[in-house]
Amino acid sequence: MHQNESVNNVNKKIVAKIDLYGTLILSSENGQAFETDSLIQSLKTQGMLTQTIDVVWVPTQQVLLMSVFVPGKRRTDWLAALPFALEESLSEAIEHFHIVALNRSPQGNVSAALVEHVLMQKWIKVLEDNGLEHAALIADCFSIPVADNDSSQEEAVWSVYTTDKCQIVRKDRYSGFAGNPEWLQEIFALARQGQEGQLPELRQITQQYDSSTHTKNRVSGDNLRTDEYVSLSEGYSIWQRWQWHLLILFLILLSFLMQTFLETKRMKTQVHNYQSATEVLFMHLFPEVNKIINIRVQTKNKINQTHRSKSVGPSQLLHEIENGFKLFPAVKIQKIQWNQKNSSHKGHPSGRLTIFVEAQKTHDLEGLNTRLMSDKVSGKVSLQIKNVTLALVEGVFYVDED
């Protein structure tokens, strides 16, 4: 009964951590311990396990936090170079470590976390055994709030949380360390030597875990579960974040494909109807044709035959000689006549276009006559001078159909 009351009171502020021996431990933020198996089962029964425990803290002693300079402007470039930059500071092969890039400063310094693959696999197994596949794995030094460093102070300020067996130090946003309190003074001595007598100021923290300081974005940035160790919930979160964008993109693509399909179908139908109408028109104009083989060639041949078998007509002749008259504006047209006549030896009726003209000089009429004879006129052009005076010359142009 006491256990259930405790669960109901603190189920939204439960701290989950894995100790140095790989055991999952549950407690409240103020350190009250819970029985892990029964609490996990109770949260599962209530359907609150996922929303209650989304972070599992792991020992900083087993996480190597480093900062190295890595050149490269693009993220892909410096991420590819990061293992080689870290390898120089390791005593083991870089292949044994899972590498997480936590941050990169504008100067090119990369803060990284390294964990042995064996440990990562062990921690993932602990999560799976307790139904916490969704949870993030974060070094417990990041559970300590970062000290507010005053830019006017020369020395750095480190946040320190001390327990009976361990001392956890948070140096800044992306670095920290932990270990036995007995050798912390040795660390400070080394720091004093490296900083020419300057010793970081230590600020003791009385409460390690404070859920109010761990936002979703910060948890995501410190999470060790990347690459092959990414959590199912993170993958689902990415899908949730992008699902509407992808759905809209899919609908746009589907709409474009449907529009293209319908437009193609419409054009095919239009082409088919046009072809059918063309064939009907062709058979109507040329009923003597029994079979359509190449409608374009057959139509061209029939039209040529029709042109050869029909007279040109006055309109066509006037159109053909129009440009010639435009070149000689001094020649004025007085009257135009069309005389139809029969010509049995050509097999079709023919006609004569008679154009009465006048000009100030005979030279203008003769020049126009030469021009018309050189043009491709569908008829025979001839000029007859009718009357010549000092001020005016009258003549007649005859255009006979061939």
CA distances 395 to 15, 335, 355, 358, 388, Å, are: 119, 11, 9, 6, 9
Average pLDDT for residues 134-156, to the nearest whole number?
77
Q: How far, in Å, CA of 330 to CA of 351, rounded?
A: 27
- The yes-or-no verdict on residue 283 having pLDDT over 70 is yes
Q: Using 50, 70 and 90 to split pLDDT, how confident is the model at 30?
A: confident
Return the higher-pLDDT residue of 232 and 178.
178
The radius of gyration computed from the CA coordinates of the chain, to the nearest angstrom, equals 49
Residue labelled with tokens 């009923």: 287
DSSP sequence for 155-186 = S-EEEEEE-SS-EEEEEETTEEEEE-GGGHHH
Predicted local confidence at residue 294, as pLDDT = 82
Among 18-22, 164-168, 230-234, top mean pLDDT goes to 18-22
Predicted local confidence at residue 238, as pLDDT = 60
- The yes-or-no verdict on residue 344 having pLDDT over 70 is no
Average pLDDT for residues 14-26, to the nearest whole number?
93
Q: How far, in Å, CA of 65 to CA of 116, rounded?
A: 12
Predicted local confidence at residue 233, as pLDDT = 56
For residues 190-218, b (16+ Cβ closer than 10 Å) or e, as one string? Answer: eeeeeeeeeebebeebeebbeeeebeeee
CA distances 154 to 148, 151, 159, Å, are: 13, 8, 16
Q: How far, in Å, CA of 345 to CA of 304, rounded?
A: 20
Every domain of the chain and the residues it spans: 2-230, 241-309, 314-401
Convert the pLDDT of each residue in 180-190 to its tens digit.
Answer: 887 776 776 67
SS3 (DSSP) at 1: coil
Average pLDDT for residues 190-204, to the nearest whole number?
68
Q: Does domain 314-401 have CATH number 3.30.1360.100?
A: yes
- The yes-or-no verdict on residue 235 having pLDDT over 60 is no
Predicted local confidence at residue 211, as pLDDT = 61
Q: Using 50, 70 and 90 to split pLDDT, how confident is the model at 11?
A: very low
Query: Are the beta carbons of 103 and 122 closer than 8 angstroms?
Result: no
Q: Using 50, 70 and 90 to split pLDDT, how confident is the model at 2?
A: very low
Which residues make Cβ contacts (< 8 Å) with residue 217, sequence separation at least 6?
Answer: none
The backbone torsions φ and ψ at residue 106, rounded to the nearest 5 degrees and listed phi first, read -60, -25
Q: What percent of the chain has pLDDT over 70?
A: 82
Which CATH number applies to 2-230? 3.30.420.380
- The yes-or-no verdict on residue 25 having pLDDT over 70 is yes
Ranges of beta strands (E only) in 107-263 are: 109-116, 136-139, 157-162, 167-172, 175-179, 201-204
Does 2-230 match 314-401 in CATH topology? no
237-241, 361-365, 390-394: least confidently modelled range: 237-241
Residue labelled with tokens 């870290």: 86
Return the higher-pLDDT residue of 212 and 248.
248
CA distances 63 to 20, 114, 117, 177, Å, are: 11, 6, 11, 8
Predicted local confidence at residue 10, as pLDDT = 46
Query: Are the beta carbons of 399 and 352 closer than 8 angstroms?
Result: yes
Q: Using 50, 70 and 90 to split pLDDT, how confident is the model at 393?
A: very high
Q: Using 50, 70 and 90 to split pLDDT, how confident is the model at 164?
A: confident
Average pLDDT for residues 12-17, to the nearest whole number?
82
Q: How far, in Å, CA of 393 to CA of 64, rounded?
A: 115
Predicted local confidence at residue 401, as pLDDT = 79
- The yes-or-no verdict on residue 367 having pLDDT over 50 is yes
Q: Using 50, 70 and 90 to split pLDDT, how confident is the model at 236?
A: low
Average pLDDT for residues 207-223, to the nearest whole number?
65
Instruction: Answer left, alpha or beta for residue 206, where phi above 0 means left and psi between -120 and 50 means alpha.
Output: alpha
Q: How far, in Å, CA of 384 to CA of 378, rounded?
A: 19
Q: What percent of the chain has pLDDT over 90?
A: 37
Return the higher-pLDDT residue of 242 and 392.
392
Predicted local confidence at residue 29, as pLDDT = 82
- pTM of structure: 0.55
Query: Are the beta carbons of 205 and 182 closer than 8 angstroms?
Result: no
CA neighbours closer than 13 Å in the CB half-sphere of residue 276: 6
SS3 (DSSP) at 57: strand
